[in-house]
Structure 1
Amino acid sequence: MTQEGAKYPTVFTVDSYHTKPPPLPPRPGRRRNIGPTQVLLFLLVSVALSGMVIEAWLIYRLYHPSASTETALPSASKIIRDETLGPEPTKWSRLVEAPSKPLAHLTDGEDVKAHENNIMGWSEIPEPLLYKMTYKNGCLIFQDSGYYYIYSKVTFNVDSLVRHSIELKTKYYLGKKSITLLKSMQTSLSRPSNSFLAGVFHFYKGDAIFVKVSNMVHIARHESTENVFGAHMI
């Protein structure tokens, strides 16, 4: 029993749940800040993985060579076989390397036929030495314009007056069949004797030069090297 009129303190109960709401969950899609350490770590991992992929590819190519690799790197047996049979033929069969500039060298031969107007013909057996130049009907035809050193030697088997010249055919000189570039007139008391002509001239593409002698009968033809004709760009 309580006594009437007794005084007691007043007690209040506070419910924190109803006075303060709970914290909200993080918003979806919110990005976290990435520090420089994480970026560096990502780069290092990417480089390491790339290195592993490249190394695996190299190991695979080492033990499984492709057809193109086998062609580029022939086996030792193929190299020995090629050395036994000699080098493979190239587009320029006369030299190991093709000349750097146009050239031609013609010689006499049994297949040579006389042309009109005492124009000398040149042998095509074996194949004449020609590079970026053409031979047709006793004429050397230039395919490239430029300065050329030209030469000719003719051997004669008589002791009479002989004439030997190198002539030019070109479309740039109208009214003339040919132009004399070099000329020799001589009389020799010994047999055989030879005449040699040489000089430097400028030629255009399509120009043609040929050798002319006074009489085909007077030409000595014992060896192919007795009569030669050629040109090369300088």
Structure 2
Amino acid sequence: MAEGGVGMSPQVFVVDSQANYDSVHGGKKPWWARVGQKFLLLLIGFTMLGLVVEGCLIYNLYKKTEALCEFHPLCQNVSNPQTSGQKGGTSLSEAQHQESNEISTVQTHLEQVQPRPFAQLLGAKHPRNGSVVQWRDSGGESVLSNMAYNNGYLVVKREGYYYLYSKVTTNAAEECSLILHKVMRVTQAYDKPIELMKSKSFRCPKPPNEKPSEIGEDLWNSFLSGIFQLMSGDKIFVTLENQEIRPGNTENLMGAFMISP
């Protein structure tokens, strides 16, 4: 017993042998987790590098294609494409327009290889073989290109639309007459020549009581021109009726040139 009759209570400690203790893990990760994380990062790096390389290759291919399209007519619409949502698809008129552009490009290339036909004949002679005017097909300013000339007839070698023209000058001071100036066509589709253009005028010396030698010259000229579709093998010629050609290299001419195939 303690002094003064006061006793101290003993301290009791109880040990529970059945208690469970959670194991405390350390802060260091297992080796397989660390290896997996490094492998995942390496895989992502390779993926990003592949995307960068693919983008560079696509860009280089696009630049090369764009450079080639500058010299090719079929790539003209690549730079300004039209989506189906904007235009509702390609219409028939647009397809025909594109086709006509391609045909025009081919025709331009053919024209560069073979120029369009043309001819100009100056200095007509007096008509022979009836009323057919004869021309000088060589010398001076007369020229023939991809066309032929034979005894007053201009021969067409290529089918197409041609601009035809003719001018004649006469002296109508000698006697009264009806002057007829015509441009004619000979084609295999018809048995007789076809009249393409005509000019007529009634001329009479003035004054009528004077002699022809005292009147001098009463010049009359006619100019005809027009556009016509001609076939290969067609022949074009000029006729002058009831009058004689007034000689001159610049007062009489006949010509033709293709304006469209």
TM norm structure 2: 0.47
Deviation sequence 1:7-58 (CA, Å, 0-9, x none): xxxxxxxxxxxxxxxxxxxxxxxxxxxxxxxxxxxxxxxxxxxxxxxxxxxx
Alignment match, 2:235: 208
- Aligned-residue sequence identity (percent) comes to 38
* Count of residue pairs brought into register by the alignment: 132
Read off the aligned partner of 1:210 and give its amino acid letter: F
What value does the CA root-mean-square deviation take over the aligned residues? 2.3
Deviation at 1:108, TM superposition (A): 1.3
**2:166 aligned to 126, 138, 152, which one?**
152
Native 8 Å contact 1:115 1:137 kept in 2: no
Relative to total residues, which structure has the larger helix share, 1 or 2?
A: 2
Larger Rg: 2
Q: Which runs of 4+ in 1 moved over 2 A?
A: 97-100, 112-115, 187-190
1:116 Cα deviation after fit: 1.1
Alpha-carbon shift at residue 115 of structure 1 (Å): 2.4
**Deviation by residue 1:83-133 (Cα, 9 ceiling, x = unmatched):** xxxxxxxxxxxxxx9993110000115xx4632121000013417301110
1:184 and 1:197 in contact (8 A); partners too: yes
Q: Distance in 1 between matches of 2:240 and 2:114?
A: 30
Paired residues for 1:44-63 under 5 Å: none
Q: Could you tell me which amino acid in structure 2 is paired with residue 203 of structure 1?
A: L
**Equivalents in 2 of 1:122, 1:98: separation in Å?**
29
2:80 corresponds in structure 1 to none
Amino acid at match of 1:192: L
What is the TM-score of this pair, normalised by structure 1?
A: 0.52
- AA aligned to 1:218 is E
Equivalent residue, structure 2, for 1:232? 257
- State the AA in 2 paired with 1:105: Q
Q: Does the 8 A contact of 1:148 with 1:200 survive in 2?
A: yes
Q: Any conservation in 1 of the 2:137–2:149 contact (CA below 8 Å)?
A: no
Task: Give the gaps of 5 or more residues in structure 2.
Answer: 1-111, 207-217
Q: Give, in whole Å, the separation in 1 of the partners of 2:122 and 2:114.
A: 19
> Does residue 123 of structure 1 match 2:123?
no
Equivalent residue, structure 2, for 1:79: none
User: 2:202 is aligned with what amino acid?
Assistant: T
